Structure 1
Amino acid sequence: MAPVQTAHHRILLKLSGEALMGDDAYGINHATIQRIVGEIAEVTRLGVELAVVIGGGNIFRGVAGGSVGMDRATADYMGMLATVMNALALADTMNKAGLTARVMSAIAIEQVVEPYVRPKALQYLEEGKVVVFAAGTGNPFFTTDTAAALRGAEIGADVVLKATKVDGVYTADPKKDPTATRYHRISFDEAMARNLGIMDATAFALCRDQKLPIKVFSIFKAGALRRVVLGEDEGTLVHV
């Protein structure tokens, strides 16, 4: 059978920790993570090389009450550890689903996961493995959005896919304004001028400088990830 023609060969998928919660208050919902992995498996079968950056909000939410008044850097390091927990859970679910996943951490926890080394990450991707980047950039004060932009640029991704709860970027909050319409595509400059808040400023500026497009779509919409990879009209494309 001839390979499916995809719009992107190598992608960086940015998943929030909250995407793993399902309807739970915090933590990891088993059915939700299995569904997300099913969507990822479908895309890898198309021959696409896939890396993932995952947040830690779902884990950190469970301890956030105790972090009130805590030093910001300390709280950020706790958040990094939460992303490692999510990455391990995601990789384990992938491996059980027949994928081969590797977790690489920006902070050294070598008894648990291997450290992030760019040439090794590229080798894994070329071998068809899914690489899950954990611990953000390894630095406090930088979000996992910035980690996604940074890792996406480093691995030469064609696009950063920002998976959210909303199926794209709208002219207004669609929950509050029924007349809000979805942008099919929008330039970085226009998005900044309209203050749309697609990613944090550091991540957004890095993607713009590296001419790395961002696609915003809903991970909760069945088949959306596949449609994005195939280049169909799904979500919002942010471009130079």
Structure 2
Amino acid sequence: MQNKRVMLKLSGEALAGPKGGYNEDKVRDIANQLKPAITNGANIGIVIGGGNYWRGRTSEAIDRTKADQIGMLATIMNCIYVSEIFRSEGIDTAIFSAFACGDIAEFFSKDRVNERFAEGKVVFFGGGTGHPYFSTDTGIVLRAIEMDADMILLAKSIDGVYNADPKIDPDAKKYATLTMQEVIDKRLAVVDLTASVMCLEHKMPLAVFDLNEEDSIKNALDGKINGTIVTV
């Protein structure tokens, strides 16, 4: 185990089933990939995007603030679902929200999160930053910095960072390593610009890899990144 505390970002779209809803087999596979690291004492924090429910910026009929609030609620729903599947696989979990959710999730507190980590629980962070105009990219970087994480792992539907869109450009080249300054200068959109600057300022490294590659999360937790590592 290379990192003692990591933040894992899962895209909502990557968890969706082919006909909507969730791909339960995929979620169970993720849970089982995490088990060895948890057993070895790693702290795992998870942020999930809401894109399988809602892409608010595509709607011109809804005020941006309200659209982003819908997206925040979508991330809470994803946390509840994935958390319950994890529990069915024998993993203890806790859900924290950036805004008050009654009994659904605990209100975020660094001290309480550290208590849950000390109990050996996987901690889900829902609700983004709790404010509109910030993405879940910014949300996970913020939580990673607050919780003194060693690294952010971005499990995506693409196997790394390219100099162009590989779906459009057959000559696109994948980077094995990059600096965060290069990401910003080249506008590579690994995470959004706000999140990139935060990573650079607070020296938070991250890795990008393919969620659908066999054992990709387990390997990433072991320090075997078959994708792109972004250093700071």
For the aligned pair, the TM-score class normalised by the smaller chain equals: over 0.9
1:57 to 31, 51, 54: 51
Find out whether 1:175 has 2:167 as its counterpart: yes
2:18 to 16, 23, 43: 23
Q: Name the aligned partner's letter for residue 187 of structure 2.
A: N
Q: Helix, strand or coil for the counterpart of 1:78?
A: helix
In 2, distance between residues paired with 1:44 and 1:224? 16
Q: Percent identity?
A: 37
Q: Helix, strand or coil for the counterpart of 2:94?
A: strand
Find out whether 1:239 has 2:222 as its counterpart: no
In 1, distance between residues paired with 2:223 and 2:57? 42
What residue ranges of structure 1 are gaps of 5+ in the alignment?
Answer: 1-5
Give the aligned length: 232
Is the 2:12–2:52 Cα contact (8 Å) retained in structure 1? yes
Cα pair distance change 1:155/1:66, threshold 3 Å: closer
Aligned to 1:155: 147
Q: Helix, strand or coil for the counterpart of 2:125?
A: strand
Aligned to 1:10: 5
Aligned to 1:3: none
Q: CA deviation at 1:239?
A: 0.9
Q: CA deviation at 1:17?
A: 1.0
2:81 to 85, 89, 98: 89
Find out whether 1:102 has 2:97 as its counterpart: no
Aligned to 1:73: 65
In 2, distance between residues paired with 1:184 and 1:46? 28
What residue ranges of structure 2 are gaps of 5+ in the alignment?
Answer: none
Q: CA deviation at 1:148?
A: 0.2
Cα pair distance change 1:182/1:132, threshold 3 Å: same
In 1, distance between residues paired with 2:67 and 2:109? 25
Root-mean-square deviation (Å): 1.8
Describe how 1:103-142 pairs up with structure 2 within 5 A: 103-142=95-134
TM-score for both structures, normalised by structure 2: 0.94
Q: Name the aligned partner's letter for residue 12 of structure 1.
A: M
Could you report, residue by residue, the CA deviation over 1:65-104 in whole angstroms, capped at 9, with x for unpaired residues? Answer: 9954111111111111111110000110111100000000
In 1, distance between residues paired with 2:65 and 2:143? 21
Aligned to 1:145: 137
In 2, distance between residues paired with 1:150 and 1:191? 18
Cα pair distance change 1:171/1:36, threshold 3 Å: same
Q: Helix, strand or coil for the counterpart of 1:238?
A: strand
In 2, distance between residues paired with 1:119 and 1:65? 34
